Amino acid sequence: MLSCEPIADQASFYLPGTDCEILPSVSLADLTSFRVGGPAEWFATPRTVAEFQTGVQWAKAQGLPVMGLGGGSNLLISDRGLPGLTLLTKHLRYLKFEPETGLMTAGAGRLLPQIAGQAAKRGLAGFEWAVGIPGTIGGAVVMNAGAHGGCTADSLVSAQVLEPDGSISQLSLADLHYSYRSSILQGSQRLVLQATFHLQPGVDPEVVKALTQQHLHHRLDTQPYHLPSCGSVFRNPSPQSAGWLIENAGLKGYRIGQAQVAERHANFILNCGGATASDIFRLIRYVQARVSDRWSVQLKPEVKILGDFTAVE
Ligand SMILES: Cc1cc2nc3c(=O)[nH]c(=O)nc-3n(C[C@H](O)[C@H](O)[C@H](O)COP(=O)(O)OP(=O)(O)OC[C@H]3O[C@@H](n4cnc5c(N)ncnc54)[C@H](O)[C@@H]3O)c2cc1C
């Protein structure tokens, strides 16, 4: 069992034998793309896998839940914050290409647009879809992020995962049980440390770069990137998209507090400045109710809604 400061002290401390500081009550608003949310009960930014292991073991010893935080681009965190230990992955930035085989291994904290650019430069095809997604490899592996007809599961070979007991395991594509924006890792206490992908080698870099740029321009033309959001709020049902159902329920521009259904893309909710997580949560529920009344379709959030919203329900 690890020794550490008593939790009731609410003072920062270093994990035993490491340079990793555990901080109490750290605001998560600036670490999410919605720019809302209360504090993490405990927060750390480990630099090494060993520090992640020690952090996870400390949380286990305290009986605390652990959450991996990547780009914060698919999260709605309660204004009341998050219990447990939040571990930011931004220092896991490892990126290695094997141009001959097309294998690429990236640390969990590496940003998707950077990887798309690096792969394109090397003439490796298969990651162009990721250029406009402001998340990390860890978040993409968990969410099965995708766009422009491609997704994480298309090229993933394996993911290295930190288990809740501090051990490390290697999960194959089949182990991850991927489906649309879904994987076995969602809602689990497992942390992705890195992932390996198989891209198509030997393609003319100019061709890969051109497709990557085309995807980026298409997104900038069709999606509202000028205000904080989480991208698409709802999973797309079939046959109509969530955006179509919301738009045709007359909800474009609808506002609760400072949260607004985007005029440019109805499946986006924007923080127009000073929105709270409660404003956004109420708007999500309102949109669900109106779409259900109008189309008898129950929209399911794609965004991960975390923390206590009971006072808002
Ligand atoms: C403008 C905009 C456009 C977007 N467009 C798209 C799009 O086209 N397609 C798409 O799929 N998504 C899109 N998104 C949503 C988002 O970018 C993706 O879901 C992305 O994969 C989330 O990655 P992240 O690192 O930000 O994860 P976070 O938001 O930090 O976390 C998301 C979930 O993953 C977990 N998680 C994160 N990292 C780890 C880890 N290392 N280990 C274990 N769990 C982890 C978190 O605990 C949480 O449950 C968009 C978002 C924005 C803001």
Q: What is the pLDDT of residues 56-111, one digit of tens each?
A: 999 999 999 999 999 999 999 999 999 999 999 999 999 999 999 999 999 999 99
Proportion of the chain above pLDDT 70, given as a percent: 97
Proportion of the chain above pLDDT 90, given as a percent: 95
Q: Under DSSP, is residue 205 helix (H, G, I), strand (E, B) or coil?
A: helix
User: Mean per-residue pLDDT for 26-40?
Assistant: 97
Query: Which CATH fold would you assign to the domain 7-88?
Result: 3.30.43
The pLDDT of residue 4 is above 50: no
- Given strand 103-107, what is the order of strands in its sheet? 95-98, 103-107, 191-198, 156-162, 168-172
The pLDDT of residue 299 is above 90: yes
51 is catalytic: no
Q: Which of 41, 51, 128, 302 is catalytic?
A: 302
The predicted structure's pLDDT at residue 5: 44
Residue 43: its H or E element: strand 39-44
Does domain 95-222 fall into CATH 3.30.465.10? yes
User: Where are the strands (E) in 45-190, listed by range?
Assistant: 66-69, 75-77, 82-88, 95-98, 103-107, 146-147, 150-151, 156-162, 168-172
The pLDDT of residue 2 is above 70: no
CB atoms within 10 A of CB 234: 24
CATH number, domain 242-306, options 2.60.120.10, 3.40.50.2300, 3.90.78.10, 3.40.50.10800: 3.90.78.10
- Per-residue pLDDT of 126-166, as tens digits, reads 999 999 999 999 999 999 999 999 999 999 999 999 999 99
User: Mean per-residue pLDDT for 180-187?
Assistant: 96
Ligand 1 pocket test, pick from 53, 56, 143 with the greatest ligand atom count within 8 Å of Cβ, gives 143
- Per domain, the residue ranges of the chain are 7-88, 95-222, 242-306
The pLDDT of residue 1 is above 80: no
The pLDDT of residue 41 is above 60: yes
Element counts in the chain: helices (H) and strands (E): 7, 17
Cis, peptide link before residue 83, omega less than 30° from 0:
no
Ligand 1 pocket test, pick from 142, 161, 220 with the greatest ligand atom count within 8 Å of Cβ, gives 142
Residue 289: its H or E element: helix 277-295
Alpha-carbon span 76 to 160, nearest angstrom: 26
Q: Which of 78, 229, 232, 278 is catalytic?
A: 232
Alpha-carbon span 103 to 274, nearest angstrom: 43
- The number of residues making up the chain comes to 313
Tokens matching residue 1 = 């069992």
Alpha-carbon span 150 to 145, nearest angstrom: 9
The predicted structure's pLDDT at residue 313: 77
16 CA from centroid of ligand 1 (Å): 31
Residues 6+ apart with CB under 8 A from 178: 144, 152, 153, 156
232 is catalytic: yes
* Contact (CB, 8 A) for 119 and 208: yes
Instruction: List the alpha helices (DSSP H) in 223-276.
Output: 242-247
pLDDT bracket for residue 213 (50, 70, 90):
very high
Q: Which of 110, 181, 183, 190 is catalytic?
A: 181
Alpha-carbon span 97 to 202, nearest angstrom: 13
Tokens matching residue 231 = 């991208």
Same fold, 7-88 and 242-306: no
Mean pLDDT of the chain: 95
Ligand 1 pocket test, pick from 133, 188, 235, 271 with the greatest ligand atom count within 8 Å of Cβ, gives 133
256 CA from centroid of ligand 1 (Å): 24
pLDDT bracket for residue 9 (50, 70, 90):
low
Instruction: List the alpha helices (DSSP H) in 40-127.
Output: 49-62, 112-121
129 CA from centroid of ligand 1 (Å): 14
User: Mean per-residue pLDDT for 209-222?
Assistant: 96
User: What's the number of CA atoms in the CB half-sphere (13 Å) around residue 272?
Assistant: 12
First to last CA, the chain: 39
User: Which residues does ligand 1 sit against, CB inside 6 Å?
Assistant: 33, 67-75, 89, 108, 133-136, 138-140, 142-143, 145-147, 191-192, 225, 229-231, 304
Residues 6+ apart with CB under 8 A from 111: 71, 134, 135, 136
The predicted structure's pLDDT at residue 33: 98
Candidate from 4-8, 108-112, 238-242, 295-299 with smallest mean pLDDT: 4-8
32 CA from centroid of ligand 1 (Å): 10
282 is catalytic: no
- Report which of 37, 26, 27 is spatially closest to residue 75, judged by C-alpha positions: 37
The predicted structure's pLDDT at residue 6: 42
72 CA from centroid of ligand 1 (Å): 6
